[in-house]
Amino acid sequence: KGDVWRMCQTKDEPIRDWVRLAVERARETQASGTKTIFWLDPDRAHDASILKKVNEYLPTHDTSGLDIEILKPEHAVRISMERATKGLDTISVTGNVLRDYLTDLFPILELGTSAKVLSIVPLLAGGGLYETGAGGSAPKHVQQFVKCSYLRWNSLGEYQAVAEAFVRLGRKVGNDGAVRLGKCLFKAVGLVLERHELPERRVHEPDNRDANFFLALHWAQFLAEEDETFKPIFQTLDAAKDRIVEEIAASQGKEVDLGGYYFFDYGKANRAMNPSETLKEILGSIEGAGSGGNSALAAEATEGKTKVLGGSNGGIATKQQLAQ
C-alpha cells in the first residue's frame, strides 16, 4: 500500500529481433574494433528473464570474430566511458530502459545538446523510427524567431535522419543512388560539425538557415565528387555562398509574422525561413531541371544522361521519382 511500482512486459518476438539487431550492428562495425555490450543485471528479475532469452538466441547467430559481452549496468557504463575516453566506439544493447540515459547524457556531455544525435529504431515489419532530442526547447526558439528573425534550432539530428533513411531505403530496394545520397549527406553533416557551421545563440550570428545552406553546399560538393551530374549545382552554390550568407544575415533583427503559432500561414513561414532570394533562385533552377525546365542551370545540369536515384532519365529527381 502506498508503494510505487512498474510492471514490465516484454514479448518474445521483439527480444529475438533485438538480439539479431545487436549482432547485425556488431558485424557492421567489426572492422573499426567496436565492442558490443548487453546491459543486463541477473539480480534484477526483469533483466534475468530477458537474459535467458539472450542466451537462447545469441548462439543462433554467427558471432565469430565479434566482441560481444553481457555485463551489469554499473560495469557496462564504466567500460563504455573508458572506451569513449580512448576514442573507441561501443554498442550499448540496453533495450528501452536506459535509452534516454544513453541518448541524452552522453551526447550532452560530448556535444552540448542531444539535438545533434539521431536515435534509430528499426521496426519489426521493416520500417524505422528516427528520433532526435531537444524538442522541449522548441517553444523558446520560436519566440526568439518571431521577435527578431533568428532561429537557433539545431537540425543536425534531422539531417542525419534523412541520411539514414536514404541509406536504409537504398539498401532495401537495391538503389545505389539513394545510398549515395545518404552517405554523402552523412559526410556533409561531419563537415558542418568540423567547421562549426552551426546555429549560435544570439541575433546577428549564424542561425538555422545558415546551417541549412552550408549543409546543402557540402552535400552537393560530396555528391559532385562521385557523380558529375551534381557539379553544376555545387559550383553555382559555391559561387554564390557569400551573397547568400549576407542575405540571410540581412533578414535578422526584425519581427516575423508567421500568421499564427500552431496553425501558422505556410506562405509567411516559407518566406521567413528562406530570406535569400539568390538561394531561392538557385533551388528553383534545380527543381526546373528535374521537371524539364529550361533555365540555364537546368540546361547545364541535364546535359547528357544523368543518374540521380538509380534512374536513367535526365535531370534531378522529381517528386514523383522520389516517391517511387
Whether the pLDDT of residue 111 is over 90: the answer is: no
- The answer, yes or no, to whether residue 323 has pLDDT greater than 50, is no
pLDDT at res. 113 = 66
C-beta separation of 252 from 218 below 8 A:
no
pLDDT of 75:
95
Residue type, 147: K
Collapsing DSSP to helix, strand or coil, 37 comes out as strand
Please check the confidence at residue 299 and state whether its pLDDT lies above 90: no
Of the two residues 113 and 273, the one the predictor is more confident about is 273
Backbone angles phi and psi of 120, in degrees to 5: -105, 125
- Percent share of the chain, pLDDT over 70: 80
Per-residue pLDDT tens over the stretch 72-99? 999 998 999 899 889 898 998 987 666 6
| pLDDT value of residue 302 | 37
Which contacts of 275-279 are long-range, i.e. CB under 8 A and separated by 24 or more positions? 275/149, 275/209, 275/247, 275/248, 275/250, 275/251, 276/209, 276/213, 276/243, 276/244, 276/247, 276/248, 277/247, 278/240, 278/243, 278/244, 278/247, 279/213, 279/240, 279/244, 279/247
Q: 48-57, 137-146, 254-263 — which one is most confidently predicted on average?
A: 48-57
Torsion angle (degrees, nearest 10) of CA 21, 23, 28, 34 = 120
Residue range 40-63: mean pLDDT, rounded: 94
**Nearest residue to 161 (alpha-carbon basis) of 105, 212, 218, 120:** 120
Decide if pLDDT at 66 tops 70.
Answer: yes
Q: Are 74 and 39 in contact (CB under 8 A)?
A: no
The single-letter code of the amino acid at 88 is L
pTM value is 0.73
SS3 144: helix
What lies within 8 Å, CB to CB, of 310 at 6+ separation is 175, 176, 177, 178
Q: How many DSSP H helices and E strands does the chain contain?
A: 15, 5
Range with top average pLDDT, 78-92, 126-140, 158-172, 227-241: 227-241
Average pLDDT over residues 161-189: 93
pLDDT tier at 158 (50, 70, 90 boundaries)?
Answer: confident
What is the distance between the alpha carbons of residues 150 and 145, in angstroms, rounded to a whole number? 5
